[in-house]
Every structure is written in structure tokens, then in C-alpha cells.
Amino acid sequence: MNEALNGVAWGRPSICSALQYRDIETQIAAMHERGGRINSINKHSRVSMSSPPIEITFPDIRRWASGNTGLDYVWSFRGSLPGPHVCVSALVHGNEVCGAIATDQLLDALQGRATVKRGTLSVVFANVDAYHAFDVEKPFESRCVDEDFNRLWREDTLDGSRDSKELRRARALRAHFDQVDHLLDLHSMLEPAPPIALAGDTAKGLALARAIAIPEHILVDAGHAAGKRLRDYAGFADPNSAKSALLVECGQHWERSVGEFACDVMWRFLRHFDVLDSVPFALVDKPIRAQRVIDISQVVTVNTERFQWVRPLLGLETIAQAGTLIATDGVSEIRTPHDDAVMVMPVPHPKVGQTAVRIGRFRA
């Protein structure tokens, strides 16, 4: 099926192919060659908020709607040998298509040539209503329906009386995620930047990111002031629990390589836990770059409607000098807290209460 819905081509994306490093990654590599500092920004490498290019095909996931677990869009497969329950989660945000591309292909494989040999493998399409609301004329508005699905995972929020479409879906999925031992949560980014793994602030999260071996950049952070992420829910973030989770930002939302990268991460994750009887090794056995860890030192949260950047920031650019003014928020000035400050996932137009940027430094 390949039909136009809300101006988008919905159909079957092509099978994962070799990753294509785009202009933004070339700039970052050049930055590192200069000693980790960026001197200028190529404005043409940034996506326009009004007319972002959409270079991917959106998979038609309606064929997976029935699930096989009693929950819509949730599938689970059990092997004959004992092992962990591993889960791949997609569409926590409705306009982040890469996870749907990867999990659509995984489910296809499980209907045919691939078999779960040990433990349990589950696949979750999370915020399906937001995904189906995607409109090419308003592509940023389908991140969620009522609120951010990925800020709802505090126990008191899930147990509370507040209501929204995302909360209803989170509460419905909660029991499923309670059974998961190891989670891969696939995401993408608003602005072009190299892929990055969000490992949380535990040693086990960092170990999982290193075991998968991609992407090159790993972020060690505690999340957002606005609410808890799925990757930080319950045992996933408990250092005393054997459970683990990894959130991977696979690139800009709709660039051509984003689905390819999500597939590569997913196959590596499944190979690490030895879940399937076979993995398309041609996809995962390719040259990779040595990983670099970024420790977050400051999370900038917007406090007023007068927040304004001094200049556009490039994801993962490094600002050499401490005290450099990067933004104002009402009467407050936002300055780099230390030398060699790495700008992680800056948001061009953040709203009050949202994270504008995370600031860190590369670990020696």
C-alpha cells in the first residue's frame, strides 16, 4: 500500500542500506579535527522550521494494529530457550518515523525468515494517534496529541488523576514495560546532528551503549525537568536493578539516512542479547567510529516566553570559552558553564518548561 494521507507518502520503505554520512556530520568531523571547536555554522545544513525536507517513506503500520498481546500495536514473540525480555519501542513521538521504519521491518522479518530463539522479543508502536495525525504541511505538530508521551513516566504521574490521550496510552502500556528487561527506544531529532545515544546516568546504561557500539556519541544525563522519560522508568534507571534501557536519537526526523541508522542500531541491540536465530550481519558488520562520551553539566530549561538564542547553535558544536553568552531568558543570561562546552540537541524555538539545550563536555 502506498497512498497519500495528509500529504505524506505512506507505504513500504526500502530495506536498510549502508549509512550515508551527511553534511552535518562532515562539519562535526571537521570540528573535531580542529581540536573540538567549531568556528562557523553552515546555515544551509540546518532544516527550516517552515519547510523541512521529507526524504523518507512513512511505513503503513495499520497492518500491525491488532497486535498479539491484547494491546493494539504491541507484538511479542517467545523463544524456546530461556532468556531476557527485550523490547524495541517506536513512535514515542509521532513525527519521529525512524523507529517505525525499523520495527516495521523487524516484524516483517519475524513473519518470515527470522525466529526468536531465546527469551522474549516485543515490539511497541507507542503514540500511534500522533503518528497517524502527521501532516506534511504541519510536520512538527504531530510530536504528540495532547502532551509529550516521553515526560509521563514518573510513578506518581501514571498513578495520578490527570487525563490525556498520551497518559491513557502510557497507562495501558505500563504493565507491558514492567515485564521488559532491556529496552531500545528509537527516536530522532528536530535539527540535523550526528546520531547520539542517551544512556541515562547509570553505569549499566553506558555499558549497553558501548556494547551496541553505535552511535559514535553517547550522552550521560539524568533527563528533563518537565518529566521522566520512558528510558528512565522504574528499573531501567535503578542502578540496583538488572534492567537496562537505551534511547537512541538516530538523526534528523526525516532525513534519508535516519531509518537506515535506526535499523542498524536495532540489529546490533538484538545481536547483543542473542535473541534471534539470525541477524542480517551485512547490516551490522561494517566499520564504526570509536565512541565518545559526553557528560552533561547543565540542562537549560526555558523559564519565560522571552527566551532567545544569541545565535543558532549546531548540535554537538563545542564552545571553547567559559562564560560565553548563548541565550537570554527574560532578564537572565545563559552562559557556558565551563570551557569546551558541548551543545547537545539545541531546540530552535523552545517553549516555557521545555529543555532548550543540554550542555556537557567530552569525557577524557
Q: What is the pLDDT of residue 9?
A: 52
Q: Is the pLDDT of residue 42 over 80?
A: no
Taking Cα atoms as reference points, which of 100, 263, 250 lies closest to residue 189? Answer: 250
For residue 205, what is its C-alpha cell?
Answer: 546504561
Q: What is the pLDDT of residue 130?
A: 97
Taking Cα atoms as reference points, which of 133, 178, 188, 181 lies closest to residue 158? Answer: 178
Q: What is the pLDDT of residue 51?
A: 54
For residue 364, what is its C-alpha cell?
Answer: 577524557
Delimiting residues of CATH 2.40.50.630 domain(s) in the chain: 297-362
Q: What is the pLDDT of residue 301?
A: 96
**Strands, E assignment, 66-147:** 74-78, 81-90, 118-125
Neighbour order of strands in the sheet with 118-125 = 74-78, 118-125, 81-90, 182-189, 244-252, 196-198, 217-220, 292-301, 355-362, 341-344, 318-319
Q: What is the pLDDT of residue 279?
A: 75
Q: Is the pLDDT of residue 340 over 70?
A: yes
What's the rounded mean pLDDT across residues 149-153?
Answer: 97
Q: Is the pLDDT of residue 293 over 70?
A: yes
99-108 residue pLDDT tens: 999 999 999 9
215-242 residue pLDDT tens: 999 999 988 888 999 999 999 999 999 9
User: How does DSSP assign 256-296, residue by residue?
Assistant: TTHHHHHHHHHHHHHHHTT-BS---HHHHSS--PPPEEEEE
319-329 residue pLDDT tens: 999 999 999 99
Average pLDDT, the chain: 87
First-to-last alpha carbon distance for the chain, in angstroms, is 50
Alpha helices (runs of H) in 162-319, residue ranges in sequence order: 165-178, 203-212, 258-272, 281-284
In this prediction, residue 4 has a pLDDT band, given cuts at 50, 70 and 90, of very low
291 versus 278: the higher-pLDDT residue is 291
Q: Is the pLDDT of residue 341 over 70?
A: yes
Q: Which listed CATH number (1.10.10.60, 1.10.3720.10, 3.40.462.10, 2.40.50.630) goes with 297-362? A: 2.40.50.630
Q: Is the pLDDT of residue 34 over 50?
A: no
Percentage of the chain exceeding pLDDT 70: 84
For residue 316, what is its C-alpha cell?
Answer: 554537538
169-204 residue pLDDT tens: 999 999 999 999 999 999 999 888 999 999 999 999
Compute how many other C-beta atoms are within 10 angstroms of the C-beta atom of residue 138: 12
In this prediction, residue 20 has a pLDDT band, given cuts at 50, 70 and 90, of very low
At residue 65, φ and ψ (nearest 5 deg) are -60, -35
Contacts of 250 (CB under 8 A, 6+ apart): 98, 99, 186, 187, 188, 195, 215, 258, 259, 261, 262, 265
Q: Is the pLDDT of residue 254 over 80?
A: yes
User: How does DSSP assign 186-252, residue by residue?
Assistant: EEEESS----EEE-TTSHHHHHHHHHH--SSEEEE---BTTBB-GGGSGGGT-TTSS-EEEEEEEEE
Q: What is the pLDDT of residue 26?
A: 45
44-74 residue pLDDT tens: 333 334 456 899 999 999 999 999 999 999 9
88 three-state secondary structure: strand
Delimiting residues of CATH 3.40.630.10 domain(s) in the chain: 58-290
Instruction: Write down the architecture of domain 58-290 according to CATH.
Output: 3-Layer(aba) Sandwich (3.40)
Q: Is the pLDDT of residue 210 over 90?
A: yes
